[in-house]
Structure 1
């Protein structure tokens, strides 16, 4: 291992060329959770103060390639910054920032601007390496309050959570140093955690992304597992505090009065009703105004629509995304691929009430070994390993298997059959070298993503769908696809006959036609509610769109993808609502796109409720507002059964025995609220069945009852 790393060091250093001015070089290796190296960051500090960075990684056949250079001023913030390269999906990255005195200006492919500033201020690039983080760590350490203004806007904060001594990898040359765990807030919708050196001028030591990868200075890689454990413990305390703050337990029988209940089976709204909740389950649904017997709390829905908890059928959950899901009324997420240990931890924390999160239905991720492999779940070589993975998932209660791009096509049919024998549904991407029709022939129950559905008509035996070609080919070719052609009609008919469910993730695929500077279609309706840095990111293009003709072609292809989902739905093909993007908000956009495809708003809500339960096999306890089922309830202002945009106006959520207010979550995350009022819990006066105090002195009671029996 050390020899391999030493050779890699020489190769990376040579890539920069010899330089008489190089003062120091720091190299970071990006190691996936399974131990595979997937990238590196090489930082060269020159004597004249210039820092050069080369950053790249590849996972799942894609990743960024960036080259940066920058200088910092006396306060540690950047005075010059340039980055060029390509983003994860191949779009050009070309960004420049400069500050002279109090004047700052910047220009990127999606924006340009200027601002007069005084004092320290850190520029936030749209695409950057972790060396920018390192510069900010140093600059923040020099501030008296651990805060630093951001450009174009915002404030970055930093605090220390933990310190630990680490040792070098080479026992023949012992090294030790003390590193600290830092939490930074002010960028994005969740904290970022970094390990840094200590002292007067700390810098980045490493980044641990549990379940994905570690990014550590070369020569210190063996510390990754220990740092991950300490980081998870620190995060757990923060997350438990958030859960305590934002989850309000509903104790005793609670009645939600005067709610207009959405019937997910009929896709209609009923007359006003009173819904009773006890210990996390629905105990009764009665006409509004019916006598209340023994409830200790009431919530006045005030005529709001009550939806069953929504399902996101294509999530990749993490420990910080739960708040966004719940604020959007998403109470169940089908996770479509994750690190297995991380998933088990999140399931345990959710049950314990220490994690603010929806209920998760996990799908087991199964990939094959190749240079393009994704590195989550199990990565296998042969049928024996595939069966072992399926056994692990079945024994851990996973109801579904997701097969990925590099899975060996020669063993697909046997693998699907074995998963079925263990009682699991099977879905996924279409393995490279196959068409969707062949996956159906092998026994698939569901297909993920609209591109995977339509690649059936576009691929040839030499198409490499493990690269960006799985995106560029549909963007180029779907515009010219004839949906009235017999092969297409036959394909749709087979999907309907076999009841193959489709998880189109239309919202996620809007990136195919987004140009730099254009607001994202899915996130446009919520952009003005977001923190400035998040809103700014919604205008960054993803695909390389070279000219107007390409844009028009990609736009037409995307519009036809949306149209095709409508064709599938009307033909009787089951549709589910999934996201594969920003938690919560993307599900709302997905429903809006289903309406654009031709569904009514009520039908779109049915897809996100009844269909979600049906295709996670949880209909016995979720998907409708029915006595005996889980009390996953969402109160919404307006009427989303008539105007699907009203689904964003979530006033309150009940799930797992807790009452959750989206306004409170939004305030915590710096999001402008979507509703003005939230329904409060009111205590009800005790009735005859209530006792002033509960239980106790059972021994004395038993003695009296024994004496009474003696006189029977």
Structure 2
């Protein structure tokens, strides 16, 4: 789960943010203006704060801390602004979400701008105003942008190292702190990241940042004004919904009547093979017929010529934490179903409703109920419980809302695990999760787990002791440093693999996500190397920011060797018959492609990796009757791909078009809307077909509908 973006894009160079929190003495400077922001999670728990001190000598100091789920950034920042109101000097130091050191500096003297950090170094001759975008920063950087853009009367603001930022006023709201009132404004900024950034600012000649809100997750508001958070969040939700609805109307093309996709080579996810060219008929969101290519076409309203391209069932991302802005990235990647593995319950329910009504560009969502225990390290999604009664109450809520699966998290009380799992099973739910603190994976399996999330949680089975606090960063540090020492041929490991196989325990390794364990700061993180050049500049820069604290070259070698063994382990258990699913828990869409590439690196064939992302996805979301394969009567979740991903898995990035939920969508259109350089062009277009005589049309449609309804009845 991530904070919103820029200013906040800067904070997110690696997952959420970075920096070192040092609490300044508020009385240290006699002539200092201090502003404090309090950061709350959606459930009302305070998770951090930002203290801004503006000194009379022009120096601004910021201390920032944010902690959720046992991790988070801490940062210490200093900067000065020049005569143009923009940063002339900037420095941030600290530690990232996962403990990596941060040390970033910027200075502009005259027309010469220079910057350097642990991951990059650059300089540029600049004419006129330009705002430097740090790789790591507090919210306060956004306050500078707000003021500068307001002074430009609608003109874009040039950025360093490159790009430009624009700002639009969306709404106003009168707020009160019980003693005084003021009017604040909702602004939308574009030009950084993959979606608009919304933030709240004061009004007047020199506006400044007032609040940053991520609806459904987090609110950061000036101290004393917190009571206005819900009102601001509701206005922002409406503003975001309008943009998202516009995107949906623009990018989702309804398929009306009967559509035939001609000359497509269909990927058979049961056999992991590609068949002979076929014509696939789509009617009202389902597959109505599959005929040999070149069969007579009568009664179809329009056609698409696949021209021999491969048609793949819609892909499954089995480890998402869905947000409204993720949908376009997923669809453009061919992901038509996402299993949400932990969210704010009201948020995910609202998203499911919006998808159903067609007002949100998105895959279909299969929700998983999130269950956590109370501790200082708690994640704060779903239900946070103290005892078995609370756990059962949460499970009842999830079962009544149609959740097929439960996910248990790090701080869940181990004493009630077995009873909780049994109760979830009695309500018809699968159970998966992290391993609760004090336990190891084999004990969670003994308690009834059906699935385990993340490769680090699996490796901890051999590395942790009952005393290891796996709620802390040790859950990452131990596997990164010690997996290299595990002997996969030892009796202990062999016995564990046999248990996984015998009990059919599914693994959701998220290998691509955990590539950060071995990333050297300054190098592009492996899963994003092939897409970096397609991304907006600030997103591309963020791929080179390391997440882990890796002390030296010797430590880096251990991290690399440990990660290589994690990849090896997944290949080993797959060959032994352990079920694998493909999930991300990272940048939507693109990371699933990288996960499939990692599975191939583990020893699977590209076709087997595709089988995992299609057939296995359907099996382990319990949607196999409708999805996961291209068969008559199933949902028309279809992905047309350039190249041959069954031979070269990288070709799965070349998605030409996607059909799902009765809509046709073009990744090229979606990517351009989001500032991404497309991976394909010249996708097949819908061609209207001339009407035929009514008696022939009825004949063919009756045949197709007969096949459809006969098959549908079987399911």
TM-score by length of 2: 0.94
- Using the alignment, how far apart are the partners of 1:665 and 1:117 within structure 2? 33
1:398 matches 2:403: yes
2:312 maps to which residue?
307
1:78 matches 2:87: yes
- Using the alignment, how far apart are the partners of 1:87 and 1:444 within structure 2? 32
Secondary structure (helix, strand or coil) at the match of 1:163 reads strand
Taking the TM superposition and a 5 Å limit, the aligned residue runs for 1:91-490 are 91-168=100-177, 171=178, 174-490=179-495
2:9 maps to which residue?
none
Residues 280-300 of structure 1, C-alpha deviations (whole Å, 9 max, x = no match)? 110111100111121000000
Deviation at 1:687, TM superposition (A): 1.1
- Using the alignment, how far apart are the partners of 2:430 and 2:491 within structure 1? 29
Matching residue within 567, 571, 576 for 1:571: 576
Deviation at 1:690, TM superposition (A): 8.2
Aligned CA distance change for structure 1 residues 17 and 218 (closer, same or farther; 3 Å): closer
Q: CA RMSD in A?
A: 1.2
Secondary structure (helix, strand or coil) at the match of 1:320 reads helix
- Using the alignment, how far apart are the partners of 1:276 and 1:32 within structure 2? 47
Residues 640-676 of structure 1, C-alpha deviations (whole Å, 9 max, x = no match)? 0001010000000000010000000111111111112
Counterpart contact for 1:478–1:561, Cα < 8 Å:
yes
- Using the alignment, how far apart are the partners of 2:315 and 2:533 within structure 1? 24
Deviation at 1:515, TM superposition (A): 1.1
Segment of structure 1 superposing worse, 183-192 or 579-588: 183-192
Deviation at 1:691, TM superposition (A): 12
2:5 maps to which residue?
none
- Using the alignment, how far apart are the partners of 2:695 and 2:453 within structure 1? 52
Secondary structure (helix, strand or coil) at the match of 2:629 reads coil
Secondary structure (helix, strand or coil) at the match of 1:461 reads coil
Deviation at 1:190, TM superposition (A): 1.2
Secondary structure (helix, strand or coil) at the match of 1:525 reads coil
Deviation at 1:32, TM superposition (A): 1.0
- Using the alignment, how far apart are the partners of 2:464 and 2:68 within structure 1? 22
Segment of structure 1 superposing worse, 500-509 or 666-675: 666-675
Matching residue within 3, 27, 30 for 2:39: 30
Counterpart contact for 2:306–2:640, Cα < 8 Å:
yes
1:679 maps to which residue?
684
1:69 matches 2:116: no
Residues 101-125 of structure 1, C-alpha deviations (whole Å, 9 max, x = no match)? 1110001000010001111111000
Taking the TM superposition and a 5 Å limit, the aligned residue runs for 1:649-664 are 649-664=654-669
2:61 maps to which residue?
52
- Using the alignment, how far apart are the partners of 2:194 and 2:209 within structure 1? 22
Deviation at 1:22, TM superposition (A): 3.2
- Using the alignment, how far apart are the partners of 2:160 and 2:533 within structure 1? 18
* Structure with bigger gyration radius: 1
Counterpart contact for 1:22–1:44, Cα < 8 Å:
no
Matching residue within 492, 512, 515 for 2:517: 512
Unaligned runs of 5+ in 2: 1-20, 698-715
Aligned CA distance change for structure 1 residues 20 and 614 (closer, same or farther; 3 Å): closer
Segment of structure 1 superposing worse, 134-143 or 608-617: 134-143
- Using the alignment, how far apart are the partners of 2:491 and 2:167 within structure 1? 60
- Using the alignment, how far apart are the partners of 1:600 and 1:584 within structure 2? 21
Deviation at 1:144, TM superposition (A): 2.7
- Using the alignment, how far apart are the partners of 2:28 and 2:483 within structure 1? 49
Counterpart contact for 1:294–1:690, Cα < 8 Å:
no
Residues 227-268 of structure 1, C-alpha deviations (whole Å, 9 max, x = no match)? 111110111111000001100111000000000000000000
Counterpart contact for 1:211–1:376, Cα < 8 Å:
no
Counterpart contact for 1:76–1:136, Cα < 8 Å:
no
Deviation at 1:18, TM superposition (A): 2.6
Matching residue within 514, 532, 539 for 2:537: 532
- Using the alignment, how far apart are the partners of 1:501 and 1:567 within structure 2? 14
Segment of structure 1 superposing worse, 69-78 or 618-627: 69-78
Residues 42-101 of structure 1, C-alpha deviations (whole Å, 9 max, x = no match)? 000000111100000110000001000111122221011000010100000000000111
Residues 470-523 of structure 1, C-alpha deviations (whole Å, 9 max, x = no match)? 000001110010000001001001100110000000000000000111111000
Counterpart contact for 1:518–1:540, Cα < 8 Å:
yes
Segment of structure 1 superposing worse, 74-83 or 493-502: 74-83
Matching residue within 481, 496, 501 for 2:501: 496
Aligned CA distance change for structure 1 residues 14 and 629 (closer, same or farther; 3 Å): closer
- Using the alignment, how far apart are the partners of 1:402 and 1:582 within structure 2? 21
Counterpart contact for 1:325–1:331, Cα < 8 Å:
yes
- Using the alignment, how far apart are the partners of 1:571 and 1:19 within structure 2? 64
Secondary structure (helix, strand or coil) at the match of 1:475 reads helix
Deviation at 1:23, TM superposition (A): 2.8
1:561 matches 2:572: no
Secondary structure (helix, strand or coil) at the match of 1:321 reads helix
2:704 maps to which residue?
none
Matching residue within 562, 585, 602 for 1:580: 585
Counterpart contact for 1:60–1:375, Cα < 8 Å:
yes
Aligned CA distance change for structure 1 residues 548 and 68 (closer, same or farther; 3 Å): same
- Using the alignment, how far apart are the partners of 2:221 and 2:154 within structure 1? 28
Residues 6-40 of structure 1, C-alpha deviations (whole Å, 9 max, x = no match)? xxxxxx99743533443310000011111111100
2:12 maps to which residue?
none
Secondary structure (helix, strand or coil) at the match of 1:41 reads strand
Matching residue within 644, 647, 650 for 2:649: 644
Matching residue within 86, 96, 100 for 1:87: 96
Residues 555-595 of structure 1, C-alpha deviations (whole Å, 9 max, x = no match)? 00000000000011001000000000000000000000000
- Using the alignment, how far apart are the partners of 1:59 and 1:48 within structure 2? 35
Secondary structure (helix, strand or coil) at the match of 1:384 reads helix
Counterpart contact for 2:29–2:55, Cα < 8 Å:
no
Secondary structure (helix, strand or coil) at the match of 2:527 reads coil
Aligned length: 677
Secondary structure (helix, strand or coil) at the match of 1:374 reads coil
